[in-house]
């Protein structure tokens, strides 16, 4: 009797364990989009005053075979300053929002197109769904998204 009950308990525990593993596998498949193609940079202070710290990174991004897109920067830096920082001005595209295209749609299209290896965008707060959309676009275009936020 004890042996039958022990065997029954072992079978039940095995079934429960298999069911739990199935639930974990289901949770993993339902997780949100991989956001590894997105880098968020949060800066404090005036919107453009702290950009000097980013110039070396952005300059390096301008030396690729594909374009570097800037979407909705708060202001433009003088060409002389960009050249002095090491930018290849022939590899930069400036995209400005208008009545038909907002910052998010411009960034998404630039990422998805495949012609830009990196897209630097200036945003406020983005929802998870918007971040997932950018990550998906970056994956399609084999691009990287850099989101700059000012606080």
pTM of the predicted structure, to 2 decimals: 0.73
pLDDT of 54 over the 90 cut: no
When mean pLDDT is compared over 53-67, 70-84, 129-143, the highest value belongs to 129-143
Going from N- to C-terminal start, the domains of the chain cover 1-31, 33-150
Sign of CA dihedral 10, 11, 16, 21: positive
Sign of CA dihedral 149, 116, 103, 125: negative
Determine the 3-state secondary structure of 6 from DSSP: helix
- Residue 75: what pLDDT? 83
pLDDT of 12 over the 50 cut: no
Domain 33-150 coded CATH 3.40.50.300: yes
pLDDT bracket for residue 30 (50, 70, 90): very low
Least confident of 38-47, 74-83, 89-98: 38-47
- Residue 21: what pLDDT? 55
Residues 109-140: pLDDT tens digits? 999 999 999 999 988 888 999 999 999 999 99
Residues in CB range of 118: below 8 A, 6 or more apart: 61, 64, 68, 69, 143, 144, 145, 146
- Residue 77: what pLDDT? 83
Question: Who has greater pLDDT, 150 or 37?
Answer: 37
- Straight-line distance from the first to the last Cα atom of the chain, in angstroms, rounded to the nearest whole number: 70
Q: Name which of 150, 146, 151 is nearest 58 in CA terms.
A: 146
């Amino acid at each position: 009797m004890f042996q039958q009950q022990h065997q029954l308990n072992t079978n039940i525990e095995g079934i429960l364990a298999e069911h739990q593993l199935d639930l974990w596998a289901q949770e993993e498949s339902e997780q949100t989009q991989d956001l590894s193609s997105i880098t968020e940079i949060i800066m404090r202070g005036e919107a453009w005053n702290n950009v000097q710290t980013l110039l070396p990174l952005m300059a390096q991004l301008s030396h690729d075979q594909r374009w570097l897109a800037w979407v909705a920067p708060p202001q433009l830096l003088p060409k002389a300053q960009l050249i002095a920082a090491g930018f290849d001005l022939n590899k930069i595209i400036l995209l400005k929002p208008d009545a038909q295209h907002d910052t998010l749609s411009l960034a998404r299209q630039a990422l998805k197109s495949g012609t830009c290896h990196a897209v630097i965008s200036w945003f406020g707060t983005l929802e998870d769904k918007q971040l997932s959309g950018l990550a998906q676009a970056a994956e399609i275009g084999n691009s990287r998204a850099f989101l700059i936020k000012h606080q």
